[in-house]
Amino acid sequence: MLKLKDLLESHHDRNEGKMAKYDVKEIAQDAMDVFKMIDEKDDLPEWLEAKITKAADYLNSASRYISGNIAREENLLEDLD
């Protein structure tokens, strides 16, 4: 049976998932810290708004990529049945 990890693996080492999970955990902690520091009525500098927007876009792109691979894997598995 084809698995997501088989689809994602090529010439990469096998520790990338572990490293990515650590990075995402750090992102989540930093995001919560920033969330707590910002008040809805704060007037943030534009450079800061841009950094937050870019970070959100990057993480959304990663999420869509992984979700798409999972959906493709599920479809491939259904086709094999």
Which residue type occupies 21? Answer: K
The closest of 53, 73, 66 to 24, measured between CA atoms, is 66
What are the pLDDT tens digits along the chain (81 aa)?
A: 556 666 666 556 678 889 999 999 999 999 999 999 999 999 999 999 999 999 999 999 999 999 998 888 777 767 666
CA distance 33 to 25: 13
What is the pLDDT, as a whole number, of residue 4?
Answer: 64
Length in residues, the chain? 81
What is the pLDDT, as a whole number, of residue 80?
Answer: 67
Rg (CA), the chain: 18
CA distance 66 to 72: 10
What is the pLDDT, as a whole number, of residue 10?
Answer: 58
